[in-house]
């Protein structure tokens, strides 16, 4: 990846979670949430696979430079819900 024009090329790397992944996450969060609430532990479910994926492919500096070069909202969303 070298420019925002390359973003559509990598969409195939991202697929929706299947039923097994959904079930695993639901079971896991069913364990995590009560523990976190009892012990005051903040928890985040990672779902930011837009710019995060770009960082994997370009490095931090490359991702920041691309975002500065083309700051259009949503251009770096790579997940399956994006059309195109």
Indicate yes or no: pTM above 0.75.
no
Q: Which residues of 17-37 are buried (b: 16+ CB within 10 A; e: fewer)?
A: eeeeeeeeeeeeeeeeeeeee
What percent of the chain lies above the pLDDT cut of 70? 71
Residue 1 falls within a domain, yes or no?
no
Query: Do 37 and 54 fall into the same domain?
Result: no
Q: Supply the range of the domain harboring residue 64.
A: 49-79
Residue 84 falls within a domain, yes or no?
no
| pLDDT at residue 31, as a whole number | 92
Residue 53 falls within a domain, yes or no?
yes
Mean pLDDT within 48-77? 76
């Amino acid at each position: 990846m070298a420019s925002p024009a390359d973003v559509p090329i990598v969409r195939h790397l991202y697929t929706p979670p299947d039923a097994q992944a959904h079930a695993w996450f639901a079971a896991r969060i069913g364990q995590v949430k009560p523990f976190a609430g009892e012990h005051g532990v903040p928890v985040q479910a990672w779902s930011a696979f837009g710019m995060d994926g770009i960082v994997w492919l370009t490095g931090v500096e490359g991702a920041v430079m691309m975002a500065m070069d083309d700051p259009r909202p949503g251009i770096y969303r790579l997940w399956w819900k994006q059309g195109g």
